[in-house]
Amino acid sequence: MDLKRIQMKLESWMGLTGHRWKNTPNGLYSINLHRVGDLDKTSGDPNVYSCTQEQLSAHLAFLKTQFDIVSLNDVKAFVANPKMLSQRRCLTITFDDGYADNYDCAFPILQSHHVPAAFFIATGLIGNSVLPWWDKVAFVLKNSPLNQVKLKNWKHPVCFKGDMKLFIRGVLKEIKATGVELEQQIKELEEVSDFQGQYPTPEFMSWEQLKLMHQQGMTIGAHSHHHYILSALTDEDILFELQHSKHLLEKNLGINVNAFSYPVGNQSTYNDGVIEALKSSGYELAFNFRPGVNFHVDKKRYDLHRFPIEPNMTPADFKQMVSYAKVY
């Protein structure tokens, strides 16, 4: 256990988390979700679920009492004039990828709470039948008799120990860790699993649904085209990912797109080169997927932090996560 976790545990036993929570700094807080619904019912990757519909409603009810919920337009105003944040604790709600449950399950809940949200879309998944690689991997594993998987370039095998969600997470982690092309690894996984079935229909939003959400006050941003890890691409491919996704969203929805969220979003997935490409492609701000409170939003406009919403998270869990976060 690292020092920070020991401190968190100790202070929680001593009843100090509440004190810390009350003293969390002013600034911009941002939360990130992926899928909303029942993770036991999906044929894809259960690890991309953030919460159920009921839990989303409970989260929003709680967050509304603690923060000013703001839109991405407000965030742009803060970037232009950071002083606006000095006396406020604001929070912006974001969703990544573009799953259909964002429209079917999350959108009605957001509307019933009268709060805006931003949806960052991987455009290669919209309006076609492309199943993303993580959902393919999950589907193959769920339909495979294997209790252990090891592909050629992996250092260690991943074993099934009774929890399918953890098994899938372990395999995805190994796939991401080797530098081998994703499609090639999926092919190999299909072979070792003796998979000959058909993949299920992908569950992503349509252009019409995105348009409707935008008309109803939601913001649409880009999340690349192919959802590749940008830091691993050539300069030319990075520009394609940023510009093509922006172009498709603007053309199909008739809107201006100037906000981005990095695919995967941890520190190793973007760098100064990616940020320069965002600037030259006309983006004004970008979100990562690392916890933290945003204060110097003008200087950090291409590196805005977000807190994850995890399944079964309680207000106490949320308070603890946020109370110990770094301020950027």
Interface residues with Zn ion (CB under 5 A)? 96-97
Q: How far is the CB of 273 from Zn ion (least distance, A)?
A: 20
φ/ψ bin of 254: left (φ > 0), alpha (ψ from -120 to 50), beta (otherwise) = left
**CB 308 → Zn ion: shortest distance, Å?**
12
Instruction: CB nearer to Zn ion: give 97 or 241.
Output: 97
Radius of gyration of the chain (CA): 20
- Residue 1's Cβ-count burial label (10 Å; 0-12, 13-18, 19+) is exposed
Rounded to a whole number of angstroms, the minimum distance from the CB of residue 265 to Zn ion is: 7
Determine the residue with CB nearest Zn ion. Answer: 96
At closest approach, how far in Å is the CB of 51 from Zn ion?
16
Our CB check for Zn ion shows the closer of 67 and 287 to be 287
Cα gap 139→4, rounded to integer Å = 37
Q: Judged by CB, which is closer to Zn ion: 35, or 319?
A: 35
Residue closer to Zn ion, measured from CB, 127 or 315: 127
Cβ at position 60, least distance to Zn ion in Å: 22
Mention every residue, 6+ apart, whose C-beta is less than 8 A from residue 85: 26, 27, 28, 78, 295, 297
Q: Which is nearer to Zn ion, 96 or 284 (CB)?
A: 96
The rounded distance, in Å, linking the Cα atoms of 269 and 253 is 28
User: In this structure, what is the dihedral angle of CA atoms 197, 201, 203, 209, given to the nearest 10 degrees?
Assistant: 170
